[in-house]
A and B are shown apart, each in its own frame.
Chain A
């Protein structure tokens, strides 16, 4: 059994990599210390908070762990070492992640030592299914590999917009892929899940937006693969990313998880936009995250058809009214009680309604939401530069786009399912991000999500000039992740093992 207070203390420090610095002598600690060991009593009240969550470190020394302690056994072999930050002022133990070390593979340690690394937020080790899932950021990847280092600089807001909209976004997928049936799908590393993807995506959105995390007043996390039936992902996101004002280890932010199959996140776009629009609410920014380690039963089991399409990833959007990159022009949502896809409580994998998942489920709702919104705003397909639809496979979004009158150049840029698989709550948000990565100012984007059960949210966004100004802060673009030279392809057995996680 995990101890609740111990777990809380360990993750409070370890997830965010918090510490203190003595303002007198400059000594740094990976610990919340009230005084400095060098300066003693006179340093009381002179210790400032630091963290190295957004920093780049250096792998000083490393070795191979191929006989781990019991809790790490599921990881297989890994590289463990010592990482320094702030030019060696702080040294911490750390594990390199995202590396599958095969039996018999030898590692040249000196070729790795000295390289720059960045912290990754991951599961710490494996526990029983009933226990609290331990997480930590003492896990690292190389700064010049799949995840490039990106500095987090809080930018002073320049311009207030009339309409609320997207201020920044981040897409997080894994380094691993499975290639089958003409498509590639992202596969989580064994220490990743919906929680870790949500936190990483949120971190990237903060970096891209330049928004001060303490000004985020609400965070929504939509997922259908939260490893907990009861316990929000949003609370982890809020604590690790320090959303809202921090006071006595508590974040002044409202954090909530939402569930509506694959539209759990997009559903909250309007809520986030509304919240930031009312000055009296005092919420300058709201974050919406969609993250899933999309679940599917093994192929020979009922519901196993999904196993050909599921992916992994998270996507985060920050809404606000300052320095908006895409203004929200209007929305329309529709809902019906259509039982096309479901997962009963306690069941590990979802089931779906076979041939009815297309019509009347997917197509009917997307068609309805898209048409209604276009009617409301008086838009024709030719008024829209990009069309983004939920993408459980390639055929569905292509078919609905064509039916609605969109041309290939309008809908193809958003279709990412062939690169990442169906990322469930992150599916249409990743499509939107792919478009935002390339859109010019003053372009219109129509996004229509779909969530089984069933419903669709349609939104129209128009881009602003700021989309170009912020682009240099978006290193981890969708294209970069799709065509990355550091991608590693795994076979079916490894894919199931990694997906099952620790």
Chain B
């Protein structure tokens, strides 16, 4: 990537239920943290790239750009898209094109305000035909797991291990969230609890396999390399950023055991960044369910197809803070992932980027990971819909 975009600051709110806070309070909080860190003012922003998945529906807002213009008293160009990664990628493009020097990327969602209707909304946006046929936001994850088990012929003892591995993902993410002050759930859970919840649900996946419904906001300040020099002495570079798209209707996709879009996106992102996959040791993946975290390890290329559960199972027998894959340490979802950190759709990608930024800068406090050769690269994977869109960003720092 030429004229590399630089993340100069990142901020976020706690994720969870923010009953008493208006959406503007949340985005303001995230922005204030980021701007303070970068030492910039509102007036320094040349453009705003924002994301929310369905804020106008959940919160009966008008055109979000106008709402934010009023809030910030700014008249700069603003664009709203559906995911943080999408906004982030547009912002990167603009900076690379030399159009702007300092931009804000912000994301917000307030889902709990529409608690009673949110699952219908989510499903209709994910895929109307599946919705009409009776699908729920959970069902496709369970069907992907069924497809995975069948396709790879996993049975008996191995099936038991796979189910435990999926539970371990959730346990691990909850464990990580204990050290994340912003996480929605800061409590330990056990494998037994995860398995028990599945049994109670009478389904392949249970309550503890899924990310929650959340409120929250996140913000990132992106600058050109030139401007970044003035703003930070710990620049985090966007080395590669790519996305790919797949069919809306999950059953219509050729492959139901993973996400094709992710496979395409990681390939392009690595090429952009000019690094190899195994240079990456820090990963924030989109674990809307435990199945998603498992297949993402395969889609990104860290594990062979149909084998991620083995690596997870083995790594979590005696969990030491990372997965061991291919003889290497892989740190995944150190903030607790969507499962425990929370998943306010439009803001989620921001929290993922926030985590990688903090880790690369060595500012992650208790959560700070230690790699053998020093931490240089981090990767963020964000999905939209049920893998309809996949975004991969490769960030680098500490150079």
- Decide if A67 touches B133 in the complex (CB within 8 Å): no
Q: Counting chain B CB atoms within 10 Å of each CB, which of A14, A61, A70, A71 scores highest?
A: A61
Chain A residue numbers with a CB within 8 Å of B123 are 69
- Decide if B146 touches A93 in the complex (CB within 8 Å): no
Which one, A70, A81, A109, A138, contacts B117 given CB within 8 A?
A: A70
- Decide if A67 touches B136 in the complex (CB within 8 Å): yes
Binds B, one of A72-80, A152-160, A215-223, A447-455: A72-80
- Decide if B120 touches A95 in the complex (CB within 8 Å): no
Whether a CB of chain A sits under 8 angstroms from the CB of B64 is no
Whether a CB of chain B sits under 8 angstroms from the CB of A92 is yes
Considering only CB atoms and an 8 Å cut-off, how many residues of chain B contact the other chain? Answer: 31
- A61-B256, A62-B146, A63-B143 known; A69-B119 Cβ under 8 A: yes
Q: Is the interface of B mostly helix, strand, loop or mixed?
A: helix
Instruction: Tell me which residues from 114 to 160 in chain A have a Cβ below 8 Å from any Cβ of chain B.
Output: 124-125, 134, 136, 138-139
Chain A residue numbers with a CB within 8 Å of B119 are 69-70
Which one, B132, B142, B251, B252, contacts A63 given CB within 8 A?
A: B142
Contact digits for B215-251, partner A, Cβ 8 Å, 1 yes 0 no: 0000000000000000000000000000000000111
Whether a CB of chain B sits under 8 angstroms from the CB of A297 is no
How far is the CB of B258 from the nearest CB of chain A, in Å?
Answer: 15
Whether a CB of chain A sits under 8 angstroms from the CB of B135 is yes
Kindly report which residue of chain A lies nearest to residue B117, judged by CB atoms.
Answer: A70
Kindly report which residue of chain B lies nearest to residue A6, judged by CB atoms.
Answer: B128
Kindly report which residue of chain B lies nearest to residue A101, judged by CB atoms.
Answer: B202
Alpha-carbon separation in the docked complex, A213 to B120 (Å): 37
Alpha-carbon separation in the docked complex, A10 to B124 (Å): 13
- Decide if A138 touches B202 in the complex (CB within 8 Å): no
Alpha-carbon separation in the docked complex, A125 to B133 (Å): 9
- A72-B134, A80-B135 known; A105-B256 Cβ under 8 A: no
Chain A residue numbers with a CB within 8 Å of B127 are 93
Alpha-carbon separation in the docked complex, A70 to B117 (Å): 7
Alpha-carbon separation in the docked complex, A107 to B202 (Å): 7
Kindly report which residue of chain A lies nearest to residue B119, judged by CB atoms.
Answer: A69
Kindly report which residue of chain B lies nearest to residue A106, judged by CB atoms.
Answer: B202
Whether a CB of chain B sits under 8 angstroms from the CB of A68 is yes
Kindly report which residue of chain A lies nearest to residue B205, judged by CB atoms.
Answer: A63
- A70-B116, A109-B146 known; A95-B256 Cβ under 8 A: no
Chain B residue numbers with a CB within 8 Å of A75 are 134
Alpha-carbon separation in the docked complex, A352 to B135 (Å): 43
Which one, A82, A95, A139, contacts B251 given CB within 8 A?
A: A82
Whether a CB of chain A sits under 8 angstroms from the CB of B139 is yes
How far is the CB of A314 from the nearest CB of chain B, in Å?
Answer: 24
- Decide if B150 touches A113 in the complex (CB within 8 Å): yes
Whether a CB of chain A sits under 8 angstroms from the CB of B67 is no
Kindly report which residue of chain B lies nearest to residue A70, judged by CB atoms.
Answer: B120
- Decide if B138 touches A61 in the complex (CB within 8 Å): no
- Decide if A66 touches B201 in the complex (CB within 8 Å): yes
Alpha-carbon separation in the docked complex, A134 to B134 (Å): 13
How far is the CB of A335 from the nearest CB of chain B, in Å?
Answer: 44
Chain A residue numbers with a CB within 8 Å of B133 are 80, 92-95, 136, 138-139
- Decide if B252 touches A30 in the complex (CB within 8 Å): yes
Q: Counting chain A CB atoms within 10 Å of each CB, which of B116, B129, B138, B204 scores highest?
A: B129
Whether a CB of chain A sits under 8 angstroms from the CB of B42 is no
Which one, B130, B201, B202, contacts A93 given CB within 8 A?
A: B130
Instruction: Tell me which residues from 128 to 175 in chain B have a Cβ below 8 Å from any Cβ of chain A.
Output: 128-136, 138-139, 142-143, 146-147, 150
Alpha-carbon separation in the docked complex, A32 to B131 (Å): 19
Instruction: Tell me which residues from 179 to 215 in chain B have a Cβ below 8 Å from any Cβ of chain A.
Output: 201-204
Chain B residue numbers with a CB within 8 Å of A125 are 132, 134
- Decide if B116 touches A65 in the complex (CB within 8 Å): no
Alpha-carbon separation in the docked complex, A138 to B249 (Å): 14
Kindly report which residue of chain B lies nearest to residue A63, judged by CB atoms.
Answer: B142
Alpha-carbon separation in the docked complex, A113 to B249 (Å): 20
How far is the CB of B260 from the nearest CB of chain A, in Å?
Answer: 14
- Decide if A80 touches B139 in the complex (CB within 8 Å): yes
- Decide if A65 touches B136 in the complex (CB within 8 Å): yes
How far is the CB of B310 from the nearest CB of chain A, in Å?
Answer: 21
Kindly report which residue of chain B lies nearest to residue A29, judged by CB atoms.
Answer: B252
- Decide if B136 touches A113 in the complex (CB within 8 Å): no
How far is the CB of B51 from the nearest CB of chain A, in Å?
Answer: 24
Whether a CB of chain B sits under 8 angstroms from the CB of A487 is no
- Decide if B202 touches A64 in the complex (CB within 8 Å): yes
Which one, A69, A124, A134, contacts B120 given CB within 8 A?
A: A69
- Decide if B136 touches A62 in the complex (CB within 8 Å): no
Kindly report which residue of chain B lies nearest to residue A71, judged by CB atoms.
Answer: B120
Alpha-carbon separation in the docked complex, A105 to B201 (Å): 10
Alpha-carbon separation in the docked complex, A60 to B139 (Å): 14
How far is the CB of B200 from the nearest CB of chain A, in Å?
Answer: 10
How far is the CB of B393 from the nearest CB of chain A, in Å?
Answer: 29
Which one, A61, A68, A83, A109, contacts B134 given CB within 8 A?
A: A68
Alpha-carbon separation in the docked complex, A75 to B129 (Å): 18
Kindly report which residue of chain B lies nearest to residue A75, judged by CB atoms.
Answer: B134
List the interface of chain B (C-beta within 8 A of A): 116-117, 119-120, 123, 127-136, 138-139, 142-143, 146-147, 150, 201-204, 249-252, 256
Q: Can you list 9 residue pairs at the A/B interface with Cβ under 8 Å?
A: A14-B129, A30-B129, A62-B143, A68-B134, A75-B134, A82-B143, A92-B251, A93-B251, A136-B132
Instruction: Report the 3 A-B pairs with minimum CB-CB distance, sorted nearest first.
Output: A95-B134, A93-B133, A63-B142
**Further contacts, 12 of them, CB under 8 A, given A63-B142, A92-B129:** A64-B202, A66-B201, A67-B138, A78-B134, A82-B251, A92-B252, A93-B133, A93-B249, A93-B250, A134-B132, A136-B132, A138-B133
